[in-house]
Amino acid sequence: MSDPVIFLNEHAGGRAIHMAPAPAEPYEFHRRFREYRPSPLVEAPGLAAGLGIGRLLVKDESSRLGLPSFKMLGASWASYRALADQVGGSLALGAWREIDELARLLEPYRPLTLVAATDGNHGRAVARFAALVGLEAAIYVPVGTAPARIEAIESEGASCSVVEGSYDDAVARSAKDASRRHLVVSDTSWPGYTTIPGYVIEGYSTIFREVEDQLGGERLDSVVVPIGVGALAASVVRAYRSDPRRWPAIIGVEPKSAACVLESVRAGAPVLVPGPHRSIMAGLNCGRPSEIAFPQLVAGIDAFVAIDDEPVRDAMRLLATAGVVSGETGAAALAGARELCASGIGEDERGRLGLGPASTVLVISSEGATDPAAYRAIVGQDPPDPEADR
Ligand SMILES: Cc1ncc(COP(=O)(O)O)c(C=O)c1O
């Protein structure tokens, strides 16, 4: 194992950047799901002491709208918005109350297939939403995707095709399916395909609305977020660069072997980090940043940390001691925060990044045990049965 790569982003705009807040509609939409409840914000005093900070709060996304990662927030809102754009006003939020009603409104438009590329979680979420509203789903995964992740996608009733190549190759393959009866719902964007990935970013805003309620007015000094293509991180930037009263530092964490946003910010433009990407942080094995997320990440993320797999295994075990079930991708943010704090950066820098002795830090644990066998092998205990939560 080697030291983390730390990149302090001098392009970050500080208070000069100011973004429009996310719309309220995604939050209203998500609360219409039968499974909706706010994800827990867990206080972890033992982990805070280990980091040398005041408070550590973990946003635990291990159970979200019936699935074990935050991804359903973006997949469901983006699918719904894309369908509404295609079908017109009959799907407006004012026209229905429950997801079953939405499914009935969609009946005349069948057959219709939602298409997505994924390294696991986004595709499963698109497949779940398609099933809930009576549509088909076709999901593409890169070769090497864990069998448990493929089975999970198929268990939603979707077809799952393995693409010989990386996640980025799977994205390119999925884009070829686009037609009037095949709606591509991608969480990443490319030239000419930006609207739906923009909805994905909006969909994640529900996380930060909940955090505000849960904090009851307390201020955050730092937010630590895992980065794949950067859609979740773009949602963090939008949430915390739209209100001068809430202006924490923002820290992004990537695997060293797929640090595409760090490398792109360093280069000043999106670059491809070629595969194979073999980190155990499967959701972060992305070679190219999302086109629309990138400018927001350049302007809004104060520091990037690129890490090896071993610190993630440690972070999974630590989160388990704090009562949070966190998978390999889910634990990346805590692992990155620990690596940053242990790296010997100066006290001034720590203070600037909101990691001082009195700081309150939010880490996003973005998934639960999405690969139960791997979780068992790393943490040494069985993850809870996800069906028990349904
Ligand atoms: C669990 C989990 N966390 C974080 C991410 C990263 O999100 P993004 O690709 O929007 O940066 C992913 C992406 O698949 C994921 O599955």
| Ligand 1 geometric centre to CA of 19 (Å) | 22
Ligand 1 closest atom vs CA 261: 11
CB 261 within 8 A of CB 7: no
- Tell me, using a 6 A CB cutoff, whether residue 229 lines ligand 1: yes
Residues 6 or more apart whose Cβ sits within 8 Å of residue 389: 63, 66
Average pLDDT rounded to a whole number, residues 37-60: 98
| CB of 258 closer than 6 angstroms to any ligand 1 atom | no
pLDDT band of 387, cuts 50, 70, 90 = low
Query: Strands 303-307 and 5-8: what pairing?
Result: antiparallel
Give me the pLDDT at residue 390, please: 44
Q: In this predicted structure, what is the pLDDT of residue 384? A: 84
Average of pLDDT values for 290-313?
Answer: 97
Q: How confident is the model at residue 170 (pLDDT cuts 50, 70, 90)?
A: very high
CB of 186 closer than 6 A to ligand 1?
no
5-69+204-389: what fold?
Rossmann fold (3.40.50)
Whether 71-194 and 5-69+204-389 are alike in CATH topology: the answer is yes
Does residue 121 line the site of ligand 1, with CB under 6 A? yes
**Atom in ligand 1 nearest the alpha carbon of residue 226:** 4
pLDDT at residue 265 in the model: 96
Q: What is the pLDDT of residues 216-241, one digit of tens each?
A: 999 999 999 999 999 999 999 999 99
Tell me the average pLDDT of the chain.
95
Q: What is the CA radius of gyration of the chain?
A: 19
Mutate to test the pocket of ligand 1, among 118, 121, 145, 149 (most ligand atoms within 8 A of CB): 121
CB-facing half-sphere around the CA of 389: CA atoms within 13 A? 16
The residue extents of the domains of the chain are 5-69+204-389, 71-194
Residue 248 clears pLDDT 50, i.e. is over it: yes
| Residue 50 pLDDT exceeds 60 | yes
Local structure of residue 115 (DSSP, 8 states): E
CA angle (227 as vertex; 75, 119 as ends), nearest 5: 55
Q: What is the DSSP string of 348-384?
A: HHHHHTT-STT-EEEEEE-BS-SSHHHHHHHHSSPPP
User: Which residues are known to be catalytic?
Assistant: 71, 119
- CA triplet 277, 283, 287: central angle to 5 degrees? 40
Which tokens belong to 172?
Answer: 């390119």
How many A from CA of 90 to the centre of ligand 1?
32
Q: What is the pLDDT of residues 70-85, one digit of tens each?
A: 999 999 999 999 999 9
User: pLDDT exceeding 90 applies to what percent of the chain?
Assistant: 91
Neighbouring residues of 68: CB distance < 8 A, sequence distance ≥ 6: 62, 121, 327, 367, 368, 369, 370, 386
pLDDT at 14 over 80: no
* Predicted confidence band of residue 388 (pLDDT cuts 50, 70, 90): low
- What is the second-level CATH architecture of the domain 71-194? 3-Layer(aba) Sandwich (3.40)
Query: Stretch 124-146: mean pLDDT, rounded?
Result: 97
Q: Tell me 282's DSSP state.
A: G
Report which protein residue has its CA nearest ligand 1's atom 10: 231
Nearest-CA residue for atom 3 of ligand 1: 366
pLDDT category of residue 1 using cuts at 50, 70 and 90 = low
- Determine the distance separating the centroid of ligand 1 and the alpha carbon of 70, expressed in angstroms: 8
- The verdict on the CB of residue 329 being under 6 Å from ligand 1 is yes
Average pLDDT over residues 135-142: 97
pLDDT tens-digit profile of 261-288? 999 999 999 999 998 899 999 999 999 9
Distance (angstroms) between ligand 1 centre and the Cα of 231 equals 8
Q: Is 61 in the pocket of ligand 1 (CB under 6 A)?
A: no
End-to-end CA distance of the chain: 39
Task: Please give the average per-residue pLDDT across 116-126, as a whole number.
Answer: 93
Strand partners, 307: 255
Cα 305 to Cα 1, 251, 352, 376: the distances in Å are 15, 8, 15, 27
Locate tokens 């400018």: which residue? 295
Residue 11 DSSP symbol? T
Q: Tell me the one-letter amino acid at 255.
A: P
Query: How would you list the strands of the sheet with 5-8, edge to edge?
Result: 5-8, 303-307, 249-255, 222-226, 360-365, 55-60, 41-43
Residue 389 pLDDT exceeds 50: no
**304: pLDDT strictly greater than 80:** yes
